[in-house]
């Protein structure tokens, strides 16, 4: 797997207490295939990492490890210096993960889908008002479909419901697996803007995509690390 | 653009309520989920009456066992779908990653599922008494027994559903995994119904059922959470 990124420190054994996300010698096997070998990187506030690689190179696996979904790996994932195996909840409150599957219920409307997700991920004593949720749907161009059952929407529109979460999120770390899948050109531009905004506010992002990304925070110091680690084909 | 500020003192039941409401909405928009188990139970009881024959005393002799086994099968078969849809559309991932207590989320999902499968089976108790010749005075006890019993069956069956969620078809495997765990519930549940029919004291078996329900409610979510986490590593 090759990792192209900006501002990325490839110094795994630095001070472990510093803030941000640290991957320390991550190794992953699936079946009898070694997917990720000895991967180390650090992401600090305001930094974004784009992870690219051929199909089957372990991009999704890596993201699931970082988000805390997958437990089968060697090495350490540290969030603010703490191993997420020891303290999963500190990462859970600050990480937003959008995977291949949108997490959208086909029988519910976009508004209903957004609302249950908010209760799970941005719990608050005062429920988030419907206007704010509609505003988020408007940002992804779905306000006209707010009350249409999702099974009547296209794949791209269903994907946009998941992406509407980005407009409500105040999570520090965004873990996005192929966020541009099924999104049209205009939508890609909007999404890139939103990710750039997030980085400008001091957030962090890890994105897998096969598409060239046009985000200031990602490309300003673009340095490609063709690592010796990676998939055995 | 507005950002939301997270509240550290958010009510811990926020996720519970949201999931309960969400699942009930989904179930009510897809009627098959709540009608099928009830129709299944009524049909199998009908088959028993045809198989055993019209002799009322023979029917009522076996009524307690028949009702409990049939209710068990109806609930168990419907549980296959408990986590499957969430697994397929990715909302299970979002559930597992939520900072809210997973224990309560799992309870909410089981409760929502019980509302649309277990509760209709409990409410149909008067029908079983007609079909199987149970004296009408025993109906309240039958309903109470099934109320507790269907809860026990849902909690235990959900363990099997969680363990098999990543398999394409878990139906038979759920049965193999969870049927042994149902043994105490079947013994005391049918004993309870029989006591009601025969007019014996109800308290001993009632307290056993209550104990089983509390035990299942407290312990099964732990196993369910483990099973759901495992499903993400396939």
CA distance B231 to B86: 12
Cβ of residue A31 closer than 8 Å to a chain B Cβ? no
Per-residue pLDDT of chain B (234 residues; tens, 9 = 90+): 344 444 455 677 888 999 999 999 999 988 777 788 999 999 999 999 999 887 888 888 888 899 999 999 999 888 888 999 999 999 999 999 999 899 999 999 999 999 999 999 999 999 999 999 888 888 999 999 999 999 999 999 999 999 999 887 777 888 888 999 999 999 999 899 889 888 889 999 999 999 999 999 999 999 999 999 999 986
Q: How far apart are CA A39 and CA B88, in angstroms?
A: 30
Give the integer Cα–Cα distance in Å for B79 and B159: 10
Alpha-carbon A129 to chain mean position: 25
Token pair 């531009």 in the structure block, residue: A189
- Indicate the average pLDDT of chain A: 82
Local structure of A108: helix, strand or coil: coil
- Say what the pLDDT of residue A123 is: 76
Q: Which residues of A touch B21 (CB under 8 A)?
A: 116
Cα four-point dihedral sign B103, B105, B108, B109: negative
What is the pLDDT at residue B196? Answer: 87
Domain range annotation of chain B: 13-231
* Nearest alpha carbon to residue A8 among A35, A46, A47: A47
Per-residue confidence at A15, pLDDT binned at 50, 70, 90? low
Give the whole-angstrom CA distance, residue B169 versus residue A27: 31
Choose from A101, A130, A132 for mutation: most chain B CBs within 10 A. A101
How far is A74 from A164, CA to CA, in rounded Å?
34
pLDDT at B87: 94
Contact residues on chain A for B19, CB-CB shorter than 8 A? 116, 119-120
* Predicted pLDDT at A233: 35
pLDDT, residue A219, reads: 44
| A93 Cβ neighbours under 8 A, 6+ residues apart | A171, B6, B99
Across A38-64, average pLDDT: 85
> Model-level pTM?
0.88
- Residue range A179-196: mean pLDDT, rounded: 90
Reading the block at residue B208, the tokens are 């056993």
Pick from A97, A105, A125: CB nearest B93: A97
Tokens 């673009």 belong to which residue? A222
Per CB-CB distance under 8 Å, the chain A contacts of B17 are: 119
Listed in sequence order, the residues at least 6 apart from A232 whose beta carbon sits closer than 8 Å to its beta carbon are: A33, A34
Q: A43 by DSSP, 3-state: which? A: strand
User: Exposed (0-12), middle (13-18) or buried (19+): which is B66, by Cβ within 10 Å?
Assistant: buried
Give pLDDT, residue B118.
93
CA nearest neighbour of B203 among B145, B136, B154, B153:
B145
| DSSP string computed for A162-195 | HHHGGGT---SEEEEESTTTT--HHHHHHHHHHH
Spatial neighbors of A131 by CB under 8 A, at least 6 apart, are none
| Domains annotated on chain A, with CATH | 2-225 (3.40.50.300)
pLDDT for the residue numbered A217? 61
Residue with tokens 């990602």: A218
Q: Which residues pair with residue A51 across a beta bridge?
A: A3, A208
Maximum CA extent, chain B: 74
Query: Between these two residues, B136 and A16, which has the higher pLDDT value?
Result: B136
Task: Give the three-class secondary structure for B5.
Answer: coil
A114-171: pLDDT as tens digits: 999 999 998 777 778 889 999 999 999 998 999 999 999 999 999 999 999 999 998 9
Mutate which of B88, B91, B95, B227 to disrupt the A interface (most A C-beta within 10 Å)?
B91
Q: How many CB pairs under 8 A join A and B?
A: 117
CB atoms within 10 A of CB B195: 20
Residue B201 CB partners (closer than 8 Å, separation 6+):
B195
Any CB–CB contact under 8 A between A135 and chain B? yes
pLDDT in tens, A59-103: 888 899 999 999 889 999 999 988 998 888 889 999 999 999 999
Answer with the residue of higher pLDDT: A43 or A221: A43
Q: Which residues contact A201 (CB under 8 A, 6 or more apart)?
A: none
Strand ranges (E), A20-152: 21-30, 33-43, 48-52, 74-79, 82-83, 95-98
B contacts of A135 (beta carbons < 8 Å): 1-2
- Residue B104's alpha-carbon distances to A116, B96, B137, B183, in angstroms, are 14, 12, 37, 26
Asked whether the beta carbons of residue B7 and residue A125 sit closer than 8 angstroms, the reply is yes
What is the interface pTM, i.e. ipTM, of the complex? 0.86
pLDDT at B143: 93
pLDDT score of A48 more than 60: yes
pLDDT of the residue at A3:
47
Long-range contacts of B62-67, Cβ-Cβ distance < 8 Å, separation of 24 or more: B62/B132, B63/B128, B63/B132, B63/B133, B63/B134, B63/B193, B63/B197, B64/B189, B64/B190, B64/B191, B64/B192, B64/B193, B64/B194, B64/B197, B65/B190, B66/B132, B67/B128, B67/B132, B67/B142, B67/B146, B67/B190, B67/B193
**What is the β-pairing status of strands A95-98 and A21-30?**
unpaired
B7: nearest CA in chain A? A124
Is residue A17 pLDDT above 80, yes or no? Answer: no
């Amino acid at each position: 797997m090759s990792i192209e990124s900006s501002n990325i420190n490839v110094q795994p054994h630095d001070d472990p207490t510093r803030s941000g996300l640290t991957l320390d010698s991550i190794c992953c096997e699936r079946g009898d295939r070694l997917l990720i070998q000895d991967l180390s990187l650090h992401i600090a506030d305001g930094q974004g990492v784009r992870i690219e690689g051929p199909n089957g190179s372990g991009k999704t696996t890596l993201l699931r490890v970082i988000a805390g979904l997958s437990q089968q790996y060697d090495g350490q994932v540290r969030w603010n210096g703490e191993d997420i195996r020891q303290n999963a909840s500190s990462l859970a409150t600050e990480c937003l993960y959008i995977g291949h599957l949108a997490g959208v219920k086909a029988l519910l409307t976009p508004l209903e889908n957004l609302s249950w997700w908010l209760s799970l991920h941005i719990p608050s004593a005062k429920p988030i008002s419907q206007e704010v949720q509609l505003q988020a749907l408007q940002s992804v161009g779905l306000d006209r479909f707010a009350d249409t059952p999702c099974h009547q929407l296209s794949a791209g529109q269903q994907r946009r419901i998941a992406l509407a979460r980005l407009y409500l999120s105040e999570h520090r770390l965004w873990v996005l697996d192929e966020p541009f899948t099924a999104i049209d050109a205009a939508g890609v531009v909007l999404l890139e803007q939103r990710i750039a905004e997030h980085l400008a506010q001091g957030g962090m992002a890890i994105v897998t995509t096969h598409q060239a990304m046009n985000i200031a925070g990602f490309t300003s110091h673009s340095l490609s690390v063709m690592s010796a680690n990676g998939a055995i084909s | 653009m507005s950002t939301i500020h997270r509240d550290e003192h958010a009510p811990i039941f926020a996720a519970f309520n949201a999931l309960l409401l969400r699942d009930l909405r989904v179930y009510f928009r897809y009627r098959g989920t709540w009608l099928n188990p009830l129709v299944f139970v009524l049909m199998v009881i009908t088959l028993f009456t045809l198989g055993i024959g019209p002799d009322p005393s023979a029917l009522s002799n076996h009524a307690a066992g028949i009702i409990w086994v049939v209710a068990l099968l109806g609930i168990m078969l419907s549980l296959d779908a408990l986590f499957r849809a969430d697994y397929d559309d990715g909302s299970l991932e979002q559930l597992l990653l939520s900072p809210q207590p997973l224990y309560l989320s799992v309870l909410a999902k089981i409760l929502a599922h019980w509302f649309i499968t277990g509760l209709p089976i409990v409410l149909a108790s008067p029908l079983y008494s007609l079909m199987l010749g149970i004296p009408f005075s025993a109906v309240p006890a039958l309903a109470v027994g099934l109320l507790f019993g269907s809860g026990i069956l849902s909690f235990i069956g959900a363990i099997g559903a969680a363990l098999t969620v990543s398999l394409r078809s878990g139906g038979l495997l759920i049965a193999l995994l969870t049927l042994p765990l149902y043994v105490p519930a079947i013994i005391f549940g049918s004993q309870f119904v029989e006591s009601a029919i025969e007019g014996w004291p109800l308290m001993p078996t009632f307290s056993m059922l209550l104990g089983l329900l509390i035990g299942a409610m407290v312990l099964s979510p732990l196993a369910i959470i483990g099973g759901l986490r495992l499903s993400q590593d396939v």
